[in-house]
Amino acid sequence: ENTGLQSQLPPEEQNYGATAAHVGESPFVSGSRNGPAKRNYLIAAVLCYANLINFMDWFIVPGILLDIQKYFQLSDGDTGLLQTVFILCYMLAAPIFGYLGDRYNRKIILGAGIFFWSGVTLCSSFIGISYYWIFFLSRGLVGIGTASYSTIAPTIIADLFEEGKRTTMLSVFYIFIPVGSGLGYVLAAGMAEVTGDWHWAFRITPCMGGLALVLLILLVPHRTQRRTALHRALSISGTIRVAAEKPGVQRTDKTTWCQDVVSLAKNWSFVWSSLGLAAMAFVTGALGVWVPLFLYRAQVVQAIVSPCHEESCNSSNSLIFGGITIGTGILGVVVGAEVARRLRKINNKVDPLICATSMFVSSLCLYIALMVAQMNILSTFIFIAFGELFLSVNWAVVTDILLYVVTPGRQSTALALQILVSHLLGDAGSPYLIGIISNAIQAKNAHSFQWNFWSMQYSFIVCAFVGVFGGGFFLLTSFYIEEDRKEAQQ
């Protein structure tokens, strides 16, 4: 269906990847005027389903962290390192897939990634107690496979829909981050409770990944055209013929990866928002790994539950926290996207201002949750829920900021670099940092359930302060966003 425009474009513009934008009085114009085709929504649905599985895999380990810690006899520091290995491999692989995604067929890259991470997850369920280092290695390999998906899928959705629909569809896509994360907790805890063996938690998502791979092969076109800066110019000019004859419309030559990186480093909206996202990742990474264990220790101190000496420990905290993550995630993403959509008509800087405000409020809620944990578990759950709610407000908004301050030909690279920076400075280190701080506090005090709780509580306070820094980074973004957006549109 793209032959009309492709015949008028130079070879450099005929990229392969997601479905092209529809503009002009060709099929592109029809798509632009009548809304995205049903096929585009179907492709987006497949991508959302795969994103769900992606984040379920991320949070299976935190959902049964106490069981894994007891099984492999890990300290808090070693337990935190387990998630750090996953994130490090994920972020180091992201720029590679970003480079490939901007230049090669994205469907093939996505399919290979889904197959790889599903297979490794399944194999990790058979690792014995004496081979904990293989378990660490398997989580790193899953991170590599996951990177292929997270760097490319959002750019495909951006290509499928015009700007008005794009924010909405990205919101739907990013809803599956908290939903998948929460379901990861629920799946892991549920399977451990039903079977009495936590290994079964790693045998469900590979089956779901196989279905996602089949849907990707059957429903996503093998070769479709990427939306480029020229296509967006055509949508503004009205017709292919007029745009092609208009002297002001020029094609942009391909740039090297190094040139792309240099350009992005000069884009201050991209830089500051990426640092803000890093602060978000730091907080969510630490919370995602340690909250169920923190709540368990608080309950032991309050004598609500007995210390776990069994092979399979009580997983009710993971189930509750998973439910909170799902509910607050859906509500936060929807509210954030809708508030941003409405307020953009009033203030062009509203996106980073929303992100800054939500980070400040979230940090306050998390600090209160930590302070009341030893006195009232219900209040702790409530304030954790509010903290997660305000964090979730930012997911779709931050990505939308990237997509309109970065030119289309650099978006996969920009997403990959943002993933690298945000995880390097964020959740690649935060679970491990919380763990080693907790270890250090325990080492200086007598071993007791009380100090086990206090060590985790004091370690968690770091997250509240990092969240405040994140709000400051988003405020800095607001100073540059209008200028960078105009430059990207040009």
90-119 pLDDT, tens digit per residue, is 878 877 887 787 777 788 888 888 899 899
**Using an 8 Å Cβ cutoff, are 485 and 391 in contact?**
no
Residue pointed to by tokens 């020029």? 250
Binned at pLDDT 50, 70 and 90, residue 132 comes out as confident
Cα–Cα dist 135/141, whole Å: 10
Q: What is the pLDDT of residues 170-217, one digit of tens each?
A: 778 877 877 888 888 888 888 888 888 888 889 888 999 899 899 988
**Statement: residue 33 has pLDDT above 80:** no
10 Å Cβ neighbour count for 29?
17
- Which pLDDT belongs to residue 254? 64
Cα–Cα dist 285/465, whole Å: 15
| Class in CATH terms, 37-223 | mainly alpha
**Using an 8 Å Cβ cutoff, are 416 and 99 in contact?**
yes
Residues of the chain with CATH 1.20.1250.20: 37-223, 257-489
Please state at what angle helix 449-478 crosses helix 430-443, rounded to 10 degrees: 140
Q: Return the bridge partners of 16, or none.
A: 225
- Per-residue tokens: 319: 């189930």
Cα–Cα dist 449/224, whole Å: 58
**Using an 8 Å Cβ cutoff, are 413 and 264 in contact?**
yes
Cα–Cα dist 312/17, whole Å: 45
**Using an 8 Å Cβ cutoff, are 282 and 426 in contact?**
yes
Phi, psi of 143 (to 5 degrees): -60, -40
User: Side chain identity at 457, as an amino acid letter?
Assistant: Q
Q: Phi-psi bin for 35: left (phi > 0), alpha (psi -120 to 50), beta?
A: left
Q: What is the pLDDT of residues 58-102, one digit of tens each?
A: 888 888 888 888 888 888 888 888 888 888 888 788 778 877 877
- Which pLDDT belongs to residue 37? 73
Which are the contacts of 372, defined by CB distance < 8 A and separation ≥ 6?
379, 380, 383
- Per-residue tokens: 413: 């690279």
Please state at what angle helix 76-101 crosses helix 132-150, rounded to 10 degrees: 30
- Per-residue tokens: 247: 């002297």
Mean pLDDT of the chain: 80
Helix or strand or coil: residue 37? coil
Query: Which CATH architecture does the domain made up of 257-489 adopt?
Result: Up-down Bundle (1.20)
**Statement: residue 29 has pLDDT above 60:** no
**Statement: residue 154 has pLDDT above 90:** no
- Which pLDDT belongs to residue 148? 82
End-to-end CA distance of the chain: give it in Å, rounded.
Answer: 27
User: Side chain identity at 183, as an amino acid letter?
Assistant: L
DSSP annotation of 418: H
* Residue 266 exposed, middle or buried by CB count within 10 Å (0-12, 13-18, 19+): exposed
- Which pLDDT belongs to residue 103? 76
Give the Cα-Cα-Cα angle 263, 266, 268 (nearest 5 degrees): 130
Cα–Cα dist 56/263, whole Å: 34
Phi, psi of 81 (to 5 degrees): -65, -25
Helix or strand or coil: residue 16? strand
- Which pLDDT belongs to residue 244? 35
- Which pLDDT belongs to residue 318? 81
Q: What percent of the chain has pLDDT over 70?
A: 84
**Statement: residue 361 has pLDDT above 90:** yes
Cα–Cα dist 332/355, whole Å: 12
Which string of b and e fits 447-477 if b means at least 16 CB within 10 Å?
A: eeeebbbbbbbebbebbbebbeebbbbbbbb
Helix or strand or coil: residue 332? helix
Which are the contacts of 371, defined by CB distance < 8 A and separation ≥ 6?
none
- Which pLDDT belongs to residue 420? 80
Which are the contacts of 357, defined by CB distance < 8 A and separation ≥ 6?
471
